[in-house]
């Protein structure tokens, strides 16, 4: 950092102040150019921008950096972004990066990678700060101050086997007698989300009216991470904006059906011209 060139310092300031705009610019570059541009900067600064990149471009950019640097950058990403990037890689690429990460982080990512994309298990953030039930409030506050970056409003209490036992709010901790055990303050049997649930299923959870974040557990009650409502909305928005898979003609067919309900058939000729072979120009759809 101290040896950074003046122009690099200026670029770093831009990355930190305008990560979304920087991500958009990076996606216009080749993966090699983007990697070269980012290489002088610390992993946490690069992660701030990569967070806004689409998974495909992000994975290609990270592939242009030294593997150890790429692994460190992924550690700084949100869980959903990190899993999204890792899913872009083949098994050997995933394994290589995971092996280079801190053991606790890689263990969580490996577990999350077992769940299909767009399920609660794949989207939950495993790095939120958790507390054991057998410490005092004073000890809990110290832990929060040491890892404030991963502390959220809800503190999830897990036992030594990572089973979710309860939840307590940050506000509650701050106004309680410091000598009181965490276990006596937590709300037991908290509302949870199944790791196997799809985005659509989780969005229909009735408890979003009360909570902005819910804990995700597997079938054995193991805490996998926290899932904010905003994360779900972002994924749902992406799914809505993503065109259906299949050929272009299939997409146009669906559009034609929708428009034809209103008596509009202007897409018919487009579908015919795209799907008709040179040898046989039989129309797929008849004009009304």
Write out pLDDT tens, residues 252-270: 444 434 444 444 343 344 4
Question: Mind giving me the DSSP string for 119-158?
Answer: BHHHH-BTTS-EE-TTSBHHHHHHHHHHTGGG--SEEEEE
Domain 130-238 class, CATH top level: alpha beta
Q: Which of these, 48, 21, 46, lies nearest to 36 by C-alpha position?
A: 46
Q: If 0-12 CB within 10 Å is exposed, 13-18 middle and 19+ buried, where does residue 14 land?
A: middle
Hey, what CATH class is 6-114 in? mainly alpha
Per-residue pLDDT at 61: 95
List, by residue range, all CATH 1.25.60.10 domains of the chain.
6-114
Angstrom distance (rounded) from CA 111 to CA 105: 10
What are 203-229's pLDDT values in tens digits? 999 999 999 999 999 999 999 999 999
Contact between residue 85 and residue 59 where contact means Cβ atoms under 8 Å apart: yes
- Cα separation, 242 vs 237, in Å, equals 9
pTM over 0.75: no
Which regions of the chain carry the CATH code 3.10.580.10? 130-238
Residue 250 above 60 pLDDT? Answer: no
Cα torsion 129, 132, 135, 137: sign: positive
What are the φ and ψ backbone dihedral angles of 129, each rounded to 5 degrees? Answer: -70, 130
140: Cα separation from own chain's centroid: 27
Tens of pLDDT along 102-114?
A: 998 999 899 888 8
Higher pLDDT, 160 or 198: 198
Q: Which residues make Cβ contacts (< 8 Å) with residue 88, sequence separation at least 6?
A: 55, 56, 58, 59, 60
Signed CA dihedral, 239, 242, 247, 250: sign only: positive
């Amino acid at each position: 950092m101290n040896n950074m060139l003046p122009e690099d310092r200026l670029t770093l300031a831009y990355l930190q102040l305008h990560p979304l705009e920087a991500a958009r610019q990076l996606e216009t570059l080749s993966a090699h150019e983007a990697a070269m541009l980012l290489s002088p900067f610390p992993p946490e600064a690069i992660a701030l921008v990569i967070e806004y990149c689409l998974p495909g471009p992000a994975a290609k950019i990270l592939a242009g950096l030294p593997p150890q640097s790429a692994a460190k950058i992924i550690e700084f990403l949100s869980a959903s972004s990190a899993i999204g990037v890792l899913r872009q890689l083949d098994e050997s690429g995933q394994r290589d990066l995971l092996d280079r990460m801190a053991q606790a982080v890689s263990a969580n990512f490996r577990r999350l990678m077992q769940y299909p994309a767009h399920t609660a298990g794949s989207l939950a953030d495993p790095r939120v700060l958790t507390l054991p039930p057998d410490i005092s409030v004073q000890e809990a506050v110290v832990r929060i101050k040491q890892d404030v970056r991963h502390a959220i409003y809800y503190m999830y209490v897990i036992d030594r086997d990572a089973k979710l036992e309860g939840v307590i709010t940050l506000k509650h901790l701050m106004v309680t007698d410091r000598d009181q055990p965490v276990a006596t303050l937590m709300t037991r049997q908290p509302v949870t989300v199944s790791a196997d649930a799809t985005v659509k299923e989780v969005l229909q959870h009735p408890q979003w009216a009360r909570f902005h974040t819910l804990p995700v557990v597997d079938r054995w009650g193991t805490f996998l991470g926290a899932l904010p409502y905003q994360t779900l909305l972002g994924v749902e928005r992406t799914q809505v904006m993503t065109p259906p898979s299949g050929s272009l003609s299939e997409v146009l067919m669906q559009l034609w059906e929708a428009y034809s309900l209103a008596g509009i058939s202007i897409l018919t000729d487009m579908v015919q011209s795209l799907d008709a072979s040179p040898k046989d120009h039989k129309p797929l759809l008849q004009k009304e």
